[in-house]
Amino acid sequence: MNITPKPVEYLYELWDANWDDGPLGNYQILRWEITKKTARRIHFVRNGHPGFVDRQRIEANGEIFHRRFARTLHLNPPDIPGPPKPPSLPELKAAMAAAHPDRGGTDAEFIAARQRYETARAAGPAA
């Protein structure tokens, strides 16, 4: 009699290895083994610690925030985000205008926004 083992199922987390230094794009997909599924809950183990999520909510949204572990869990492996797109010159110009003291910004905010705009303008169009 052949008994086929049940395939292991997982919940997934998108984890940035540089989370304490800010998002630097060093992402990894972590797997949390599902130990049991009921009609109301999906039970899992994370680093030897048991937990569970609301099955209906995660199946409806594809993801759920788990408060105890302070992590967003996904039913399927999430896409790893690419590098952020640098702002365009019109976006930088609009940010500079919005930071102007006459529009409620501060001198420091305006000077920083203008520096970002001037730096991007001097660099020319992106290749």
Q: Where are the domains of the chain?
A: 10-74, 89-123
Query: 74-104: per-residue pLDDT in tens?
Result: 999 998 877 777 888 999 999 999 999 999 9
* Four-CA torsion 85, 89, 91, 96, nearest 10 degrees: 130
Mode of pairing for the β-strands spanning 49-54 and 41-46: antiparallel
| pLDDT digits 0-9 by tens, 16-69 | 877 665 556 678 899 999 999 999 999 999 889 999 999 999 999 999 999 998
**Cβ atoms of residues 59 and 37 within 8 Å:** no
CA–CA distance, 68 with 118 (Å, rounded to integer) = 45
Q: What pLDDT score was predicted for residue 127?
A: 42
Whether the pLDDT of residue 125 is over 80: the answer is: no
Distance, in Å, from the CA atom of 123 to the CA atom of 55, rounded to the nearest integer, reads 50
**pTM (2 d.p.):** 0.59
